[in-house]
Structure 1
């Protein structure tokens, strides 16, 4: 198939990461993929790094004539089988361009906040595919009143070559932060604000550190409440075992250094990309049993699901993951699970089937019994 991906959002968001990853996955699967992307930002840089052909343009809003001209020009030149979009401000422009040229349109929705009444009614019905990135998200759209026959599912892909166990990176990152080879490293990757459960994680980690002297936490990312976490760490008595990277463009180099990952959100996540990135590196996950996170893992097999915000429960599971044979076994299971369900080849196959036949993937992810 010939696929024209239109994503002109210059921000470095999870949706942008998904957009690039899906385009690369489809290209690797043998499809002809091109993009209309911005010159700056994660999407433009990601398409360029992947060697995908692009036209640089931008939709500043849904009425930007330059954006329409770029899309219609590429449709005329390429005759794509599908237009693929990821961002709200481009929904109506892509629907309009698709209608004008008789080109089907597939639109992803990554967020749960409700759209305007016009968009909520029209976009799922006028796009040939309106796609949620998890069962959790699909359920939210159905509760809006979107008919079930108008909402499909396609999970995020992860490049299991970019994200894989890497002993050299593991040793390098640990040396960089003064962490020993035999130490146990709890990793956190993401923004640092209250909804991500970082304060509850800090409490649980400090309680676990009091019982496990080899336990360290590597905090990867930044956010407006990072300073408060530094202050709490400084008062904890374990300041030398909390390590902060600040903002980093490429988080993939840190995952192999983790013994396990914590994904402690107390507000629902639409999907939870960080979970599958860690698992692809052979790192088991402690994940909040909320939103789309349970769909990224098998409870008791690739990690553990835990009640959001329950500090004693998180402390106990952190200590459970300090059992190294258990952690290694879960890490092996995690990588296998991700390759089978979220690897580029698996997601590309599902997405192709979705475009051709409108089928929701038949396998049900997550929620294994402990």
Structure 2
């Protein structure tokens, strides 16, 4: 079936790669393709939306007795790879996809090996981050480098990621670039700003900064708090920083840092939220201060909401934000430089114009439609037939 694409991913929990895959699969289904999804760990919040679009989802489950014996999620995830690989081979033989497309390292390793055992005609790997994670997983690095030559195409989501893949030995003729795309309309709908701020308990005259990133050390929240502690005396009028994202284990540490800096009244940790577009539209300035990235949807979403962005120069961040035009780009791990940029942006008379320039840039270059066009072109290169 030359229109059938089988995606392989670790899970369908809420994360950048997972959300991206779900959006791509749903839109390709609307265009007449036959996407299907295999999750190494089935279930997750994104499942219902994908199934509602009539995109089949497959996976394997551990027997209850074995899951009970394995008391930690880490061991369950490791053992799960065996039934997942066997189930995936069975699904491949039964469904006969023309293309298999792998997202994230574990899915690449399991799916890549299974696809070769089952003689899938075309195999594509998408890398969505720099290869820094390989430093802590040398076995992953060795297996991935063995798999690269056996891929039909290898895709990165930024020029930085593509350059990283080239250094890993991927042949330049196989490398492709597809930037992330977002639904810009979801972030540009009109909002009654004062009423929305009242709902969120934000002062109407406050300068509101927002960072949308799960609470993980490499996202740089500690740098951000240190930056605000440094510039607080120079900020004019009331201000707030809203931290939106799932706690991956450092929330208590960050709260202690906030308390020590005396910023309890200014910085709020909101946790994971389903109303991110609304929060962005009542903010004034967006921030992403990661130490590493592939290409961040959070930046694009902030730009789509009309926010001028302050970002660190890692991965594809500087490919999205044009320094001095749609925001400021600063070095990573540099709280003083980050603070200076935030202060400049807060006091800039041109920040609204910069935000609007960012909104136009996202619509022109990073729309979801442009992204889906890129995927269709990618699959056609493998010999897949257009619907």
Instruction: Normalising by structure 1, report the TM-score.
Output: 0.83
- Contact 2:19 2:46 (C-alpha < 8 Å) held by counterparts: yes
C-alpha deviation, 1:275, in angstroms: 0.7
Q: Counterpart in 1 of 2:252? A: 227
Q: Counterpart in 2 of 1:197? A: 220
* Rounded Cα–Cα distance in structure 1 between residues aligned with 2:331 and 2:141: 34
Residues 1-370 of structure 1 mapped to structure 2, 5 A cutoff: 1-7=3-9, 9-29=11-31, 31-37=33-39, 39-49=42-52, 51-58=53-60, 60-61=80-81, 64-75=85-96, 80-91=97-108, 92-94=110-112, 96-97=114-115, 100=118, 102-111=120-129, 112=131, 113-114=133-134, 116=140, 119-168=143-192, 170-171=193-194, 173-211=196-234, 212-221=236-245, 222-248=247-273, 251-265=276-290, 267-323=291-347, 325-357=349-381
Structure 1 counterpart SS, 2:350: helix
Root mean square deviation, CA, Å = 2.8
- Contact 1:263 1:286 (C-alpha < 8 Å) held by counterparts: yes
Structure 1 counterpart SS, 2:6: strand
- Contact 1:36 1:71 (C-alpha < 8 Å) held by counterparts: no
Runs (4+) off by over 6 Å: none
Structure 1 residues 58 and 14 mapped into 2: Cα distance closer, same or farther (>3 Å)? farther
- Contact 1:133 1:271 (C-alpha < 8 Å) held by counterparts: yes
* Rounded Cα–Cα distance in structure 2 between residues aligned with 1:129 and 1:142: 12
- Contact 2:210 2:287 (C-alpha < 8 Å) held by counterparts: yes
* Rounded Cα–Cα distance in structure 1 between residues aligned with 2:335 and 2:111: 46
Please say which of residues 330-339 and 224-233 is displaced more in the overlay: 224-233
Gaps of 5+ in 2: 62-79, 383-387
C-alpha deviation, 1:351, in angstroms: 2.1
Q: Deviations over 1:221-260 (max 9, x none)?
A: 2342222332333343442222221233553442222211
Gaps of 5+ in 1: 359-370
Structure 1 residues 31 and 163 mapped into 2: Cα distance closer, same or farther (>3 Å)? farther
C-alpha deviation, 1:305, in angstroms: 0.3
- Contact 2:182 2:367 (C-alpha < 8 Å) held by counterparts: yes
C-alpha deviation, 1:62, in angstroms: 5.8
Structure 1 counterpart SS, 2:271: coil
Structure 1 residues 25 and 334 mapped into 2: Cα distance closer, same or farther (>3 Å)? farther
C-alpha deviation, 1:347, in angstroms: 0.8
* Rounded Cα–Cα distance in structure 2 between residues aligned with 1:127 and 1:243: 45
C-alpha deviation, 1:357, in angstroms: 3.8
Instruction: Normalising by structure 2, report the TM-score.
Output: 0.80
C-alpha deviation, 1:282, in angstroms: 1.5
Structure 1 residues 27 and 256 mapped into 2: Cα distance closer, same or farther (>3 Å)? farther
Q: Counterpart in 2 of 1:368? A: none
